[in-house]
Amino acid sequence: MIELRNLHKAFHLNGVTKVVARDISFTFPKGECVALMGGNGAGKSTMLKMLAGTVRPDSGEIVRHGSVSWPVGFAGSFHGDLTGAQNVKFVARIYGVDSDEMVKFAKDFSRLGGHMNLPVRTYSSGMKSRLAFAMSMAIKFDTYLIDEITAVGDAAFQAKSEAMLRARLTESSAVFVSHSLQQMERLCNSGIVLQNGRVFYYARVQKAIEHYEHIMRGVMPPWMA
């Protein structure tokens, strides 16, 4: 479970201020997969990074109860000169899990085979993403932060990734960002719409999707008019 307490975050560029979080207080429900939606530039990725602790809010605080993942599938933190296996072992040591077991899981799930023993800088973007997702799923977190990851790879790998994610969500919570409304409807219980620095929570994800679709059409939802 994650709590936001009077959270404020804004960016200032060329005399323009963009507010991502405007004094937000909210508690993500425990045991749910919550869809995080918003128009382009609403601040979804920034919000996910704040939840992960890699971006600091301007004021307020984020209280994390239990373990929280890094943004699942994030491949930007790989060390390019290390092999895939070495990168996995490094993360395993940080989180205190068995490094050999984690390498085996990541190798089997990502289907990288012998590439696991090659430097990550030789990988394609798809290979990096497959390894990053496998590495994320190898550790059981209380809350997963997920950003557009299950669209990686071919149809078979996408189905395999979604099945693994479903398995993890039987025991964990999640905050889920995706451009696929169908996927969010399949995987999420509830939803949040991030709009003008405010969060609008809906206990039914379908209602959050309806709000989001109104934003995309440039109109206010009728219940907010």
Express each pLDDT in 147-156 by its tens digit. Answer: 876 556 677 8
In the chain, the domains with their CATH numbers are: 1-67+144-154+174-225 (3.40.50.300)
Q: Concatenated DSSP letters for the chain?
A: -EEEEEEEEEEEETTEEEEEEEEEEEEPPTT-EEEEE--TTSSHHHHHHHHHTSS--SEEEEEE-S-EEEEET--TT--TTSBHHHHHHHHHHHHT--HHHHHHHHHHHHT-GGGGGSBGGGS-HHHHHHHHHHHHHTS--SEEEEES-TT-SSHHHHHHHHHHHHHHHTT-EEEEE-S-HHHHHHH-SEEEEEETTEEEEESSHHHHHHHHHHHHTT---GGG-
pLDDT digits (tens, 9 = 90+) for 72-100: 866 667 899 999 999 999 999 999 999 99
Binned at pLDDT 50, 70 and 90, residue 179 comes out as confident
Per-residue pLDDT at 159: 85
> 18-45: per-residue pLDDT in tens?
999 999 999 999 999 999 999 888 999 8
Average pLDDT, rounded, for the chain: 91
Specify the pLDDT at position 153: 65
